[in-house]
Structure 1
Amino acid sequence: IQLLGPQFGDPAVRNYAVSVLENLSNEEICSFLVQLVQALHYEPRIESALLQFLVNKASVDQSLGYYLYWHIKAGLEVAFFAVKLQFAMNEFRKTCKSHVMTALSKQEKLVLSLANIARGIRQVKQKAERQKQLISLLSELESFESVALPVDPRCEVNGLELTKCKYMDSKKLPLWLVFKNTDRSVEEHTYIIFKTGDDLRQDILTLEMFSLMNKTWLRHNLDMKMTIYSCVATGDSSGMLQVVWNSETLSNICKVDISLIASGGGVAVFKEDTLINWLMHETQTGELSRALDNFTRSCAGYCVATCLLGIGDRHNDNIMLKRNGQFFHIDFGHILGHFKSKFGIKRERARFVLTPDMAFVMGGTHDPRFRSFEILCAQAFNQIRAEATKYLNLMSLMISSGLSEVSSPADVRYMHDIMLLNLSDEHAAKEFTKWIHDSLHTKSTQFNHAIHTWVHK
């Protein structure tokens, strides 16, 4: 991967790197396809062994081909990258089988229609009228020829369940869409979120890093119960995300605390038992012990992953909990230490989100389950440190991608520094354990959550 970076312009060196990639499976290639597309920008010639490698892979693996197409399509919006990517797109079209191009054409048509609808409802100011307008516009798409969704090429849909579609009450009014599956024997419906006005390429990069970390941990028999959902950019400011079913935001969990409903959930943020009560209520009989284990492992995984990637703008509307106990993060608009501030004061002061109600799910800081959490964090942290070169090289390839928060070596340096590569595993583990307790006792995290819950009640 490093040999495909900008510092290696010799075609012989870059050709050697591609020859090594030939030994990887298509699944492995997909796991860092974002960086391989970005590496085309660093090729000294518009025609290259890397481009030929990618289009050849796409010609024999339909799913890989779909993802490659949309990665190229999104990159075309970046002006200084457009010439090489337009050539790549032309090569892709020449190499791809006709039925694949037909399928992609149908995907493009669907995406264009959804983007027009999303922009259209933003012009309507009244909420009730906005929902009516949405349903009216979507009714023109109520049924259509079967098409694979860009966010999951394995899933073909042929219509919308209009009664379940809505817009979401956030700044860009993303669409909550419920598609009818062509093959109803699998599942009746597929749920996705369609966004316009946001660059989802940073979300894709973050989720890719989460996925790679998860694979590292699983190779070492460390199952952190991560929730890796699908996300695809269909342009520089539009895209689709997979909905994680049977889950709620921590904000909504606070709001359903009946005893505190008058506060709009704001007071529930400060209660230690809010999350455990919700889990006990939602978990099936006999499954609570497994749910607590899922929570402990996934909370450890996301504490490590969000810390390493310097993920900011964390609040209880972008942290979620599944009914089986799995904890996970969504929405990654700020990474690599680009934390939000107000009037020059940094809003986020902890290295990662860990609050007393999360610790309470694990029995409190003196419980063996919490000690297990600390050990899992240390193990997960050290496993990623052992593969630091891979992660830093992958992030470095994104410096010229047009992402504002991955735009210089200083951004990647944040990830390098947080890995504590100058320390032994033992000392790094002790330092991370200290961060756990620092984060747990950072009261501003709870205040941020309470304010966010109250404002959005």
Structure 2
Amino acid sequence: MVSCETPYQKLNYVFSCHLLAQVQIKIGKLEGERKKPDYKEIIESPILNYSGAFQHLDLYVTAQIFANNQELCMPVKTSYKYIEKEPWIWDEWLTLPLRISDLPRNALLVITAWDIESPKSGDVPVCGSSISLFDRYGEFRQGSLEIRLWPNRVGDGNSKSTTPGLLSDQREFEIEEMIDSHQNSDEAANLGQANGLEEFPMLDELDRLAKLSKFYADGHMIKQEWLDNITLQKIENTIKNEKKNSKFFFMNVELAQIECDNVKYKVLYYEENAERIVQVIPNNDLFVVNDPELELDNIIESKNRKLEHTEQMVLFDMNLKPDTDSKNQLHKIINYPMTRPLKREEQTLLWNYRYYLTQNKKALSKFLQCFDLNLEFEGNTLMELMLKWQPMDIEDALELLGSKYKNYPKIRSYAISRLKNASNEDLILYLLQLVQALRYENFSSSNTSNIKSITTSGCSNSTAASAMPINISSNISSSSIKQPKSDDYGNNFAYSSSPPLASQTIIHNRNLLNQIEPLNTFELNLKSFLLERATKDEIVALCLYWFLKVEINDSKVLSSSASTINLFGQSSSLTNAHASSSSSNLAGTTNQYSNNLSARTNFQIFMDELLENLRDGDQTARSIYNSIINQEKFLKALNEIVKAVSREEGRMEKKLNKLISLLKNTEKSSFDLMNLDAPIPLIIDPSIKIYGIDCDKTKMFKSNLMPCKFVFKALPSKSFIDPEYSVIYKIGDDLRQDQLILQMIALMDKLLKQENLDLKLSPYKVIATGVKEGFLQFVDAVPVSNILNNSEYRSIREFLKKNNPSSTDKYGIKAEAMDNYVKSSAGYIVITYILGIGDRHYDNILITRCGKIVHIDFGYILGQDPKLFQPTIKWTKDFADGMGGIYGSDGKENKEYEDFKKYCCNAFLQLRRHANLILNLFSLMIDANIPGIALEPDKTVKKLIDKFKLDLSDEQAQYSLIKEIENNYGSLVGNITDVIHHYNTNRK
């Protein structure tokens, strides 16, 4: 402590760095009136009648210290005190957990008054303010202060606080000097208004009087008792009136006085060796943890994590190897389901052994959870590690195209670099989900590749004479989009300010399979990738076109102003059609394109670019373009005929005759459905070419929607040798859910065959050509209900015997037919169990004459069922009897039933190993308008995880599946449901 004497006064002071006392503040009186809610707000929220916003407030006050935009301590609050009427008086000392010696020069004391408005909204701020603990001269504030609190705000602890409470704060003088520096008074007034100063207390009479009162109280004025009394009374009345007319709250607080031997001391800010200290203002935020039991982020753990992720730890971690226990834990973490969040300890373990894990391609998707993707250093580190990492499998890379990484184009680019290794055959299996992934693409920042330059080699614009007549009501297209420069990619990644380090020597020292090209890894996007594949492969392009068209025309996705495609809405000439898609028709929408993207806009823009690239491309691309024209013409003609027949009144026979008549009459029209001018790709399966419809084999089914069966005349090919291809065309039914499930069945069938497990599945083709229309491949099979009710069979085994007789094989049935029945039964039981297919009955389970089981009608998925308490697996006595029953005459299990259980277990285990692929595909469909998913989108992936039993070992999973099959065998509820369903069907 130091005393400094002058001829006029003596100054006692102490340096702040020597004071170990904690900061203390006394919360005194709060004055002010909170605005009451109006009648409209009360009507909308009746609970306001009983909240603090309407009745008398029971408030509490919190105090906290900030500096450099960060919290320095946890908030301290007043204890509960019942206050009968305003003003609120606490007279309570609060001790903050921070010493005066630890306070920085720019420390702010933030005070907020809180009220509990309703159970839903919880604590809401009534008013808040912030004051500097050191004045502009570096003196620590002591004694009584009256501060202004801003209504309905939390006290702002940022350096440029929006809730300043004192005139003497240095930043407020800076604002005032800024205003005074403007010569134009109007400009100064506008600046003041922009900073919220038009009603700020520092500019009114109240602040001047408060300053004079404090000056008088500190003994810096000559006292005249008679005059002082009159003046103080006048000041008191003026202050009272000013407070009454102000919109602010006012609080009396008192900061503890520093005394020693009854001598008061001033506290001056001083920091020893400050000239040697370089102040660094971190950008990290501290998180408020009000209660550890709430499982919120712990500020100590967050700080520890940031220290672990610093550059200084890189050299140490590069050579770190896990021990046995750590290896087992890492293996467990890597095999977690995709939806399971990692704990802090698990993230730390992955981070510590990140260089070791670069050899494990399955670990990268989990490792991405260890990063704060908004920090520049961690973003650059991630880019380096992704280039060194063993390349991910394609099925794992699909996860990176979901909504989780929609704001990180470089991570999505890495996923595309892995997809480039997929064959077109595999790509078609994922194409439905890749179209959905387009909704998460940011087209405005994507480096749109000029596919036209690839496909137009050796051709000119004159080749566009076969241009497709297009009428696009939207004025958004790729031709009006500003092409970003190649170096713009550095700004597309939210946490990267420099290109990834692609020239690290460590990359060349690793023998990575299918190593990716570092220079192109982060410069790819989904749109360009799909366009490139579509312009080179007809099957990819046609599937892509129909998937896109359905999404564009979905009424639940499009708004009233959304753009739609009408390929044949106008009979314009080819020249006009070509002109309609020129740049003049598509200009002037760059701002709207970049600022107002949505899912429907993405689909529409992609469709425009796809058609443009096909039309103006090379010979292959133009051939694909013509195929789309012919498919649309074919579908339009067929659709008009079916709709005309549906409007016809009369019996089914009359309608069928009308249908055949209309098909034959197309010979006279411009588009002959019976005999096409040239073969066209079949919409449902573009690998097959058709050249007409066999009208005599056309059929209509008895149903409210009256689906029609058409037999197409097909050209023989390597993949299809039959001369006919039968389909069912339905109008009025959304087939997208069936399309998704059949895609999954086809995918699972391929995965099982890759493991040499052919379960004789029959995944027929389905494609939706509109929101309420589409094609299904016709399967020549008999419903189980017809077999059981037919007096010729009466049982499945008898049906197999009649169609596949054998005098040498067991049960008098050919061994191949019995093998088909046992394997297909096992395959469909496992698949329908995993996908949660509901509403299984004997009418939608079919059997082919060669013994293969076929499931149809997938209106209920993921555990949904129109009937209560239904079994999860459709396995009844009738199905078991088809393979000879469960037990033989000797009381032991039949060989066929043992084989059935073996196939079930093997299939289940193999599909569990590919669970991540199936989960990723379903996660990409969450935002699609598919009824079974849209009902509970957030639970879609979890339901699949539960069915895969990923938390169990293989042995436990097998046991669980067999137990499920045995428990559902002969289910009483299932049998009763079958009887009721059969009765209702016969009544109809």
Superposed, 1:149-188 pairs within 5 Å as 149-182=682-715, 186-188=721-723
Contact 1:316 1:449 in 2 (8 A): yes
Question: CA offset at residue 188 of structure 1?
Answer: 3.0
Q: CA distance change for structure 1 residues 258 and 224 in 2, over 3 Å: closer, same or farther?
A: closer
Number of the residue aligned with 1:144:
676
How many residues end up aligned between the 2 structures? Answer: 438
- Deviations along 1:107-161, one digit per CA (max 9) or x if unpaired, are 1111122222333333335223222222222222333323221111122222222
2: CA distance, partners of 1:384 / 1:258: 39
Number of the residue aligned with 2:921:
394
Number of the residue aligned with 2:401:
4
2: CA distance, partners of 1:363 / 1:253: 17
Number of the residue aligned with 2:626:
102
Contact 1:406 1:412 in 2 (8 A): no
2: CA distance, partners of 1:144 / 1:222: 41
- Deviations along 1:293-317, one digit per CA (max 9) or x if unpaired, are 1111110010000010011122222
Number of the residue aligned with 1:448:
977
Of 261, 265, 279, the residue aligned with 2:800 is 279
2: CA distance, partners of 1:438 / 1:173: 39
Contact 1:308 1:419 in 2 (8 A): yes
- Deviations along 1:319-369, one digit per CA (max 9) or x if unpaired, are 11111211121121111112113xxxx1x6111211111111222112121
Question: CA offset at residue 386 of structure 1?
Answer: 2.1
Q: CA distance change for structure 1 residues 223 and 414 in 2, over 3 Å: closer, same or farther?
A: same
Number of the residue aligned with 2:36:
none
Superposed, 1:38-53 pairs within 5 Å as 38-45=436-443, 47=446, 49-53=525-529
Are 1:218 and 2:753 matched, yes or no?
Answer: yes
- Deviant stretches of 4+, over 6 Å: none
Of 21, 26, 46, the residue aligned with 2:419 is 21
Contact 1:364 1:370 in 2 (8 A): yes
Number of the residue aligned with 2:552:
76
Question: CA offset at residue 445 of structure 1?
Answer: 2.9
Residue 609 of structure 2 aligns with an amino acid whose one-letter code is E
Q: Which moved more, 1:305-314 or 1:442-451?
A: 442-451
Number of the residue aligned with 1:67:
543
Q: Which moved more, 1:4-13 or 1:212-221?
A: 212-221
Residue 11 of structure 1 aligns with an amino acid whose one-letter code is P
Are 1:111 and 2:587 matched, yes or no?
Answer: no
1: CA distance, partners of 2:713 / 2:912: 43
SS state at 2:733 partner: coil
Contact 2:820 2:851 in 1 (8 A): yes
Superposed, 1:320-339 pairs within 5 Å as 320-339=846-865
Contact 1:176 1:193 in 2 (8 A): yes
Residue 211 of structure 1 aligns with an amino acid whose one-letter code is A
2: CA distance, partners of 1:100 / 1:110: 15
Are 1:200 and 2:676 matched, yes or no?
Answer: no
What is the TM-score of this pair, normalised by structure 1?
0.91
Q: Which moved more, 1:139-148 or 1:318-327?
A: 139-148
What is the TM-score of this pair, normalised by structure 2?
0.43
Contact 1:253 1:278 in 2 (8 A): yes
Q: Percent identity?
A: 34
Residue 712 of structure 2 aligns with an amino acid whose one-letter code is F
Q: CA distance change for structure 1 residues 92 and 284 in 2, over 3 Å: closer, same or farther?
A: farther
- Deviations along 1:178-237, one digit per CA (max 9) or x if unpaired, are 122355994332211111111111111111111221222222222211112111111111
Residue 53 of structure 1 aligns with an amino acid whose one-letter code is F
- Deviations along 1:1-47, one digit per CA (max 9) or x if unpaired, are 00000010211111110000001111111111100010000112255
Number of the residue aligned with 2:910:
383
- Deviations along 1:414-440, one digit per CA (max 9) or x if unpaired, are 111111122111111111111111221
Question: CA offset at residue 454 of structure 1?
Answer: 4.2
Q: CA distance change for structure 1 residues 215 and 154 in 2, over 3 Å: closer, same or farther?
A: closer
Number of the residue aligned with 2:505:
none
1: CA distance, partners of 2:792 / 2:801: 15
Number of the residue aligned with 2:824:
298
Of 765, 774, 786, the residue aligned with 1:230 is 765
Structure 1, unaligned runs of 5 or more: 260-267, 269-273
SS state at 1:154 partner: coil
Contact 2:652 2:702 in 1 (8 A): no
Q: Which moved more, 1:87-96 or 1:74-83?
A: 74-83
Contact 2:436 2:924 in 1 (8 A): yes
Residue 113 of structure 1 aligns with an amino acid whose one-letter code is A
Contact 1:336 1:405 in 2 (8 A): yes
Q: CA distance change for structure 1 residues 360 and 183 in 2, over 3 Å: closer, same or farther?
A: closer
1: CA distance, partners of 2:983 / 2:640: 32
1: CA distance, partners of 2:926 / 2:686: 28
2: CA distance, partners of 1:435 / 1:126: 46
Residue 406 of structure 1 aligns with an amino acid whose one-letter code is I
Are 1:414 and 2:943 matched, yes or no?
Answer: yes
Question: CA offset at residue 238 of structure 1?
Answer: 1.1
